[in-house]
Amino acid sequence: MADEESGIPNFGVPGGKPLPTAEELLKALENMPLSEEDKKELRESIVRGGLAREAEKLIDQAAGTAGSSKSGEMVLLFVMISFVFLVLVFFGYKLYSSLMEKERRREEKKRQKQQKKKK
């Protein structure tokens, strides 16, 4: 944990200062002794990060109105497990029907041989 005495603020820590906004970071970037290329890269990074945070907020709001994110994750997990189960059932059924058809053909062939022997 950082001390106020060391000059490092406690951003994002309960009881500390709130995280700076993208606008505040951009203003502070102008006063930093960096090359223009570094400033440009940082500016782009801050803007991209700001957009990502805004998108994350919108997603959280949408999830909050539709229910908690945990229930959404549980529904997704249930759907995925159900899908895997159905695929396994489908292939199991296909295997079973193939084996039964093979057995039926074998018995049919055996009956035909027996009938030929009787003639």
How does 60-91 read in b/e, with b if 16+ C-beta sit within 10 Å? eeeeeeeeeeeeeeeeeeeeeeeeeeeeeeee
Give me the pLDDT at residue 108, please.
Answer: 95
What residue type is 28 in one-letter code?
A
Instruction: Quick: pLDDT tens for 81-110.
Output: 999 999 999 999 999 999 999 999 999 999
What residue type is 52 in one-letter code?
A
Instruction: Quick: pLDDT tens for 48-88.
Output: 776 566 666 666 666 665 555 678 888 999 999 999 999 99
**Element of type H or E holding 15:** none
17 phi, psi to nearest 5 deg: -75, 150
Give me the pLDDT at residue 109, please.
Answer: 94
Q: With the C-alpha atoms ordered 68, 21, 42, 4, is the resulting torsion angle positive or negative?
A: negative
Whole-model pTM over 0.75: no
